[in-house]
Structure 1
C-alpha cells in the first residue's frame, strides 16, 4: 500500500471514529409525522462518486419518492455522474456534488456545505451509516427530521437480504419512519434502475446490431475488467471465453470495454467502447445476459433489467451481488465450470422481461 493510500485510510478511520456518534441521541420521540404530503423537500446524502455506489442508491430514491410523491429530492454526492444516472428521475431536483479533490477546490468545497445549510429540508437522509461526510451533512442540514442511517439491529436479524448494500438503507429508513408514526412496510425492495427512456432503449438496439452484425441471434454480453483484486486474470477469462464460445456457438458474444479500453480476452470478441454511461446501459439492456466481475458495470447491467451474473472472488457476495430479473452472484472459487453453465442455461431458458413503464 502506497504512502498516500495509507494516509487516506488513516484519515477515514479517524473521521469515522469522530462522527460515529453523531445523531445517536438526536431522535425526538414526541415528534410524529402526521401527513406524508407535508414532506416537500428531501436531502439524500451519499458523498461517493463511483458508478456502482450511486446506482446502488436508486432503490432508496424510489422508496422515498413513492412514500412522499409530492417531494423533491436533492442528492448530496461526489463527482459528476449523479446527474447522468438520475437524468430521468422526475423527483430529483438538485445534485449537490462535492469536488473529488477538495483541497484543490476549497472554495467549491465550502460552498457545497453552505448550500446544504441554507436550503430548508423536511427530511435529511444519510445512506451509509459509516459515511463520515454523510453523517455530517445530515447533522449540518436545516432539516426537521434527520435520519443518520443507523440500524435498529432487529431488522438485520429478521431480513435474510439485509446485508445487501442497496437494501439495508431502505430497511433502516423504513424502521425510522415507524418511529414517526408510519405503518411497518414489508414491500419488496425495488431493483436498481437507470430508468432508460424508450428512445434510449431503441438506440441501444441499433448500436447492438452494429456491433454484432447479426440481429437474428441472442446476445451474451461480457465485461472482463474490474478494479484491483476484483479483476480476474487473463488466463481465467481466456479459458472461460473458449468454453462459452463452444457452449453457445449459436449466440452473439460481445464485450463491453471499460474506460481504460482494455480486454482480458485480448479483444477476441466484437467489442463496444463508450464513455457515455447511458449509451452503454442501453446497449446492455438489449442483450440477453451480462456476465462480469463485481464492478460498476455489473451494477449498470442490473440497473437496466438485464439478467446479470456477477463473478465474485474477493468481494462480499451477500453485500454486492446483483438481484432481480434472474440475476445472481457466483463465487468462482466455490463453483466449477459445469456450475457456470447450469446457471447460464437456467437464466437464458427463462428469458427476460423488459418493462419501461416510466420511460420518458
Structure 2
C-alpha cells in the first residue's frame, strides 16, 4: 500500500528542538572556501570575507567570555552581529552554515520560524537559558510576520547578545524594513531599530542560482502516471493536495521536519492555486523542510509556480511565497530513483 504523509502523526519532544538546530544536510560540508563567488557580482566575494571575519570574531568573543577576571568572575562581553541581506539563491545560507561550522560549540542553526517555534515550545526563559551558552546563533531567512514576533525576537536577541552570544542571520529584507507590508511597522519602530542596531548589514547580490539557465516550471504529471511513479519509488509518499494541506493544519510547524523524515520523494496529486493565507504559509514551511532534506517533489494538477495566487504574490508575504516557489521548482527537477 502506498505510504501517505497524511497518515503520519509525528511527535517531537521539546528537549530535542535545541539539539536538532543544525544546518540542513545539503550544507553539512560547506565552507568559505567552497563558496564560489560570481565574478559579475563583487558583493559576493566581499561577503565571503566579511563572513569569515565574523567567524573569527565569534571565536575570539567566545574565548574571551570564558576567561575570568582578577576577581574570579567571567567577563561580560557582548556578542557580534552579522546580517546577510540579498535575493533568493545567492548563497547566503551557504555562508551562514560556513559561519556555524567555523564557530566553537555549543552553537545553533535554524530558520527564523524554527527559532520562534523553539521559544513557543520551551517558553522564553527556558529557551534563553539554553541558547545563552552558545558561541553563535545562526538564523536563516530572518523575517517578522507579526507584532508578537517583533517583540519576542527583539527581546531574545538583545538578551542573548548582552550575554556574549554572537548572532548571524540571512534575510531578503534590510533590518529597518522588517515587518513592512505585514503590520503597522511604524508602531514597532523602536523594536525594529533595536534589532537593527545589533547587526552589521552585508549585501549579497546576484541572480537566483536555482533558476540560472534552467527551464521554467515543468508541466504537471498526468494523475495516473503520478501514481505509477510513486509506486515505483521506494520510500516515496503520495498524497492528495487538499487532504495534505488539511493534515498540515493539525500539526505544529515544528513537526513538519519529522513529518517527512525518511521519505525519499513526495508525490502530490490535484495541486491547485491556494487563496487562503494560512494554508499558503503552511506550504511555505513544508517547502522549506523539503528543500532542507533535498526531497524531490512531483505533482499533478497545476504547475508549482501557480500554487500561490497573483494577489498573494503582490502582498506582504511576497518574499516568502517567491522563496517557496523557487525551492519547489528546484525540487521538481531532482531525479527520482525507481525501484
TM-score clears 0.5: no
TM-score, scaled to structure 1? 0.35
Structure of greater relative contact order (alpha carbons < 8 Å, 6+ residues apart): 2
TM-score (norm 2): 0.37
